[in-house]
Amino acid sequence: MTELTAEKRAIIESQKKARVKWGFIWALLTAVMWGIGYVPLQAIWGVEPLSVLYNFEDPDAGYLVGSYLDAFVQALMFGLLLTCIWATTTGKIREYKRVVTNRKILKWLFFGALCGGPTAIFGSALATGYIGATFAASMALLSCVVGALVARVFNHEKFSMKAIIGIIVILVGGIVILNPSEMIENITHPASEGNVMLGYLGAIMSIIGWGVEGNLSIRALNVTDADASLPVRFSIEFVFWCIVMLPLLLVIVGPDKFIDCMAQTFGSAALLFWMAICALSLGFCYAAQYKAFPLIGVGRTLCLCNMYVPVSMIALFVFLGQELNILLIIGSIIAISGTFIMYWEKNPDAEAQGGA
């Protein structure tokens, strides 16, 4: 009996180690693909017709339409095509149907999709178009603070001294990244056409959107499978783009001009190529992150995923020749350090169970 108990303990311990190992693998893959994803996200703004903002007389209208079409194509390519293929190959189609028909699960994915797509992804596209991918990637680090505050309010999670110190460190890093003097200069003497404040607004949208989505997605992952919930999440986002955001943009820019922009987009092989690469890289991040959450916990996953920032800086420098801004580097290092202070726990298995 003692030998059997020892054998069972060895099996359980082996399973725990495998969970942690694969959790780390999925989280690190998220960081790498997320960082690289900012290359096509930036590159699309240099490809016609998006590079000339569809020849809008009002540049702000061009940025709005371009950001919408970028997020729309991402949702279309990844949400309706790739995730459905993913669910089919993993045998989760029945689970997909169960999630869609379960209101208790569906509501968390619904609000999570609204926060992640029309808020975070759309906002990040705006920030990239107006200010640049390096800035957009660095500012998104602050979503950890929003996520912690949301968890405190809605999940009644208590802040430890370590969490408070981590939040303060992240905020200091955020101030360095934001660089108030440069922000004032950009607003008063913008380098790009249009109202650059929309770029900063987009960065804030990405911070809030991803911070809130993390808390909502975990509610769904507690009672369903990641391979099934992710296709549902992207399907909801795609439907929202079609029935809510599309009519709004038709009113803002006019149906004739918008239809012309759509035709130019889907008629440009180069633009569709970069949008597809962007959809595959950033879409895979969601798949990998949803895998990591229940394996090593939300906190540890977020810590490792935040390594996307140095990856994005290196990738943008290597592939697009973007300069490495010293303040962005320093601010990102400070903010990443804050996330590790805030979230990292000694016991990965306990934290995974608590976070998921």
- Under a CB-based contact definition with an 8 Å cutoff, are residues 49 and 265 in contact? yes
Omega within 30 of 0 (cis) for the link into 190: no
Q: How confident is the model at residue 192, as a pLDDT?
A: 62
Q: Using alpha carbons, list the distances in angstroms from residue 191 to 10, 17, 278.
A: 61, 51, 25
| Domain boundaries defined on the chain | 30-355
Report the predicted TM-score, pTM, of the whole model to 2 decimal places: 0.86
Among the listed residues 111, 355, 59, 315, the one whose alpha carbon sits nearest the alpha carbon of residue 218: 355
- Under a CB-based contact definition with an 8 Å cutoff, are residues 203 and 125 in contact? no
Q: Over 80: is that where the pLDDT of 84 sits? A: no
Q: How confident is the model at residue 95, as a pLDDT?
A: 84
What is the DSSP secondary-structure string of 148-204?
Answer: HHHHHHHS-PPPPHHHHHHHHHHHHHHHHHH-HHHHHHHHHS-SSSS-THHHHHHHH
Average pLDDT over residues 94-104: 86
| Cα–Cα dist 315/34, whole Å | 11
Query: Sorting pLDDT into bands at 50, 70 and 90, what band is 207?
Result: very high
The sign one gets for the Cα dihedral 152, 157, 160, 162 is negative
Q: Over 80: is that where the pLDDT of 354 sits? A: no
Provide the CA 2 distance to its chain's centre, in angstroms: 49
| Cα–Cα dist 95/71, whole Å | 26
pLDDT in tens, 159-193: 778 888 988 998 899 889 888 887 887 777 766 66
pLDDT in tens, 274-327: 998 888 888 888 888 888 877 887 777 877 888 899 999 999 999 998 888 888
| Number of neighbours of residue 101 by Cβ within 10 angstroms | 9
